[in-house]
């Protein structure tokens, strides 16, 4: 049995987060599920990595508690395969047969924690809370990038071109010459681009362009 007191997570996180547990020991799955559900977390348990992969994942802060030694497979090998398949949620390993070499290998491959069995309830709850917070930040960053990309794609081709020149530091007069358009037209495109990108300042527009990986338009040689 685990030992220790329970720590409660914020209600908002409790309702949205999911903890996945992969362990071929049914008793361990029940124990972990009871522990995590006692603090309001949603828990999904699986006896194998294949069951976990087949299960539809929610787009919410999540983490995976994974046993190192699964029946007929290695949790460490699955960790590597999962990363290749795009499973980016934090992984917490647990094992009854752990050693320093195994722990180091798991950490180098991206695991956020490693628990030898038996472990204290509080240690596991704290680690899960940290993992969910980390995954929440990852999702927020990804969602922001997705929204930014969608906003950029609303720009017309001309507006995107002008934005590229602006980011490169060209003045409206120089951009007009590059695009063979009037300076007034460039001002209009520039204003529309900044409005659509929700950029209040040039610095803000440059930051967003960098986040999108947009390469500045270069001035042509005379």
Q: Where are the domains of the chain?
A: 11-144, 154-212
The whole-angstrom separation of Cα 137 and Cα 154 is 26
Q: Please determine, for residue 81, whether its predicted confidence score (pLDDT) is greater than 50.
A: yes
What fold characterizes domain 154-212?
Arc Repressor Mutant, subunit A (1.10.10)
Task: Please give the pLDDT value at position 8.
Answer: 34
Cβ–Cβ < 8 Å for 75, 69: yes
Q: Which residue has the tokens 């124990």?
A: 31
> What does pLDDT average to over the chain?
84
180: left (phi over 0), alpha (psi -120 to 50) or beta: left
The whole-angstrom separation of Cα 142 and Cα 117 is 34
Secondary structure class of 172 (helix, strand, coil):
helix
Task: Please give the pLDDT value at position 98.
Answer: 59
More confident residue, 26 or 80: 26
Q: Which residue has the tokens 């547990």?
A: 21
Task: Please give the pLDDT value at position 58.
Answer: 86
The pairing of beta strand 18-22 with beta strand 42-46: parallel
79 pLDDT band (50/70/90 cuts)? confident
pLDDT tens figures, 103-160: 667 676 667 888 888 888 999 999 999 999 999 999 988 888 889 999 999 999 999 9
More confident residue, 167 or 34: 34
Second-level CATH architecture of 11-144: 3-Layer(aba) Sandwich (3.40)
Task: Please give the pLDDT value at position 153.
Answer: 93
Give Dmax (Cα) for the chain: 77
Cβ–Cβ < 8 Å for 208, 148: yes
The whole-angstrom separation of Cα 145 and Cα 51 is 31
End-to-end Cα distance, the chain? 77
Judge if the upstream peptide bond of residue 203 is cis by omega within 30 degrees of 0. Answer: no
The whole-angstrom separation of Cα 216 and Cα 163 is 8
Residue 197's closest CA among 146, 143, 153? 153
Cβ–Cβ < 8 Å for 120, 3: yes
């Amino acid at each position: 049995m685990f030992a220790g007191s329970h720590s409660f997570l914020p209600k908002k996180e409790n309702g949205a987060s999911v903890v996945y547990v992969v362990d071929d020991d049914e008793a361990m799955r029940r124990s972990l599920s009871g522990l995590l559900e006692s603090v309001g977390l949603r828990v999904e348990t699986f006896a194998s990595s294949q069951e976990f992969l087949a299960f539809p994942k929610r787009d919410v802060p999540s983490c995976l508690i994974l046993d190192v030694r699964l029946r007929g497979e290695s949790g460490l090998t699955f960790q590597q395969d999962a990363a290749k398949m795009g499973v980016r949620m934090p992984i917490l390993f647990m094992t009854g047969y752990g050693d320093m070499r195994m722990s180091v290998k798991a950490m180098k491959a991206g695991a956020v924690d490693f628990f030898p069995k038996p472990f204290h309830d509080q240690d596991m709850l704290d680690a899960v809370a940290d993992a969910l917070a980390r995954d929440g930040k990852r999702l927020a960053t990804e969602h922001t990038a997705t929204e930014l990309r969608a906003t950029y794609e609303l720009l017309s081709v001309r507006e995107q071109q002008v934005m590229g020149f602006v980011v490169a530091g060209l003045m409206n007069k120089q951009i007009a010459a590059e695009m063979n358009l009037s300076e007034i037209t460039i001002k209009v495109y520039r204003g529309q681009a900044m409005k659509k990108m929700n950029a209040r300042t040039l610095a803000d527009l440059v930051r967003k362009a960098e986040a999108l990986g947009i390469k500045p338009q270069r001035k042509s040689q005379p």
